[in-house]
Amino acid sequence: MRRKLAAGNWKMNGTRADLSVLGDLAGAATEDGPEVLICPPATLLHPAATQALGTGIVIGAQTCHEAASGAYTGDISAPMVADAGATHVILGHSERREGYGETNADVANKVRAAWAADLTAIVCVGESLEDREGGTALAVISEQLAYSLPNGATGQRLVVAYEPIWAIGTGKVPSTAQIAEVHDALRAQLGDRFGAATGAAVRLLYGGSVKPDNAAEIFATSNVDGALVGGASLTAADFTPIIAALARA
Ligand SMILES: O=C(CO)COP(=O)(O)O
């Protein structure tokens, strides 16, 4: 059985005062409910991990460098993320691929680094509006998945997030049929590559304009094991009902 996962990506939002959200969410993370993950900006990793102790909430970073240390001004390595108390790292988000030119090969190198530091990698894939309208979405996503993952995936250390770029921060959400088509294809491709058991164990998240009012429908969709939530993870008022919808799914 795959444990469901409600992941919040705070992006470049939040200062120490906003960690009160963790306290407000504490009751929402239960042992037999979905796993609750918050990925704050790097400055908050350590205080967030400290504040989350005992709540059941786990903490993740939003990217990491592929090297463990060295002359990379401004970067943060996977061992540093782990040292801060985080257990997860988002890799290959479209905002990193587009804004920083991260290629599939870069993402695969970062995943290797994350695994070497015992972090669970949440690897993001997703098509542009142009790909969707041109009918190439599935091919684009399949290629991203193939080349963004190194060998050696397990259900424990890999999560894949499907985030159509055109749905991020736009209020637009694919139909549940479109989400199911992609998630079923991801599941099949993971099984072909890593074997049926691993393919069945990797959790698949949907991300892109997940809100309290659409969460239940998305979570009822084939092969959706949770969500990677941006804006609606910034307040407990929005994230709590999303976690509750996932618990009910
Ligand atoms: O990019 C996302 C999460 O990683 C989705 O962001 P929104 O939920 O704000 O659309």
Is the ipTM higher than 0.90? The answer is yes
**Ligand 1, atom 3, residue with closest C-alpha:** 230
* 166 marked as part of a ligand binding site: no
Alpha-carbon separation of residue 47 from 15, 76, 86, 88, 197 (angstroms):
10, 16, 10, 15, 36
From the CA of 155, how far away is ligand 1's center (Å)? 23
Q: Whose CA is nearest to atom 2 of ligand 1?
A: 230
The structure tokens listed for 39 are 């990925």
Is the CB–ligand 1 distance for residue 207 below 6 Å? Answer: yes
pLDDT tens column, 169-187: 999 999 999 999 999 999 9
CATH match of 5-248 with 3.40.50.720: no
Task: Give 242's pLDDT tier (boundaries 50, 70, 90).
Answer: very high
C-beta separation of 103 from 111 below 8 A: no
The response to whether residue 123 sits with its C-beta less than 6 Å from ligand 1 reads no
What Å distances lie between residue 39 and 67, 110, 121, CA to CA? Answer: 21, 17, 12
pLDDT at residue 206 greater than cutoff 90:
yes
Overall average pLDDT of the 64-80 stretch = 98
Q: What is the pLDDT of residue 26?
A: 84
Residues contacting residue 202 through CB under 8 Å, at least 6 positions apart: 2, 153, 155, 158, 159, 160, 187, 190, 194
CB 148 within 8 A of CB 125: yes
Residue 171 Cβ < 6 Å to ligand 1: no
- CB 236 within 8 Å of CB 21: yes
33 is in an annotated binding site: no
Q: How far apart (Å, rounded) are the C-alpha atoms in residues 219 and 242?
A: 9
What is the 98 CA–ligand 1 centroid distance (Å)?
Answer: 15
What pLDDT, on a 0 to 100 scale, did the predictor assign at position 120? Answer: 98
**C-alpha of residue 192 to centroid of ligand 1, in Å:** 29
Ligand 1 atom 7, closest CA = 230
Q: What is the average pLDDT value for the chain, to the nearest integer?
A: 97
- Residues 134-147 have a mean pLDDT of 98
Contact between residue 121 and residue 155 where contact means Cβ atoms under 8 Å apart: no
Catalytic residues: 93, 163
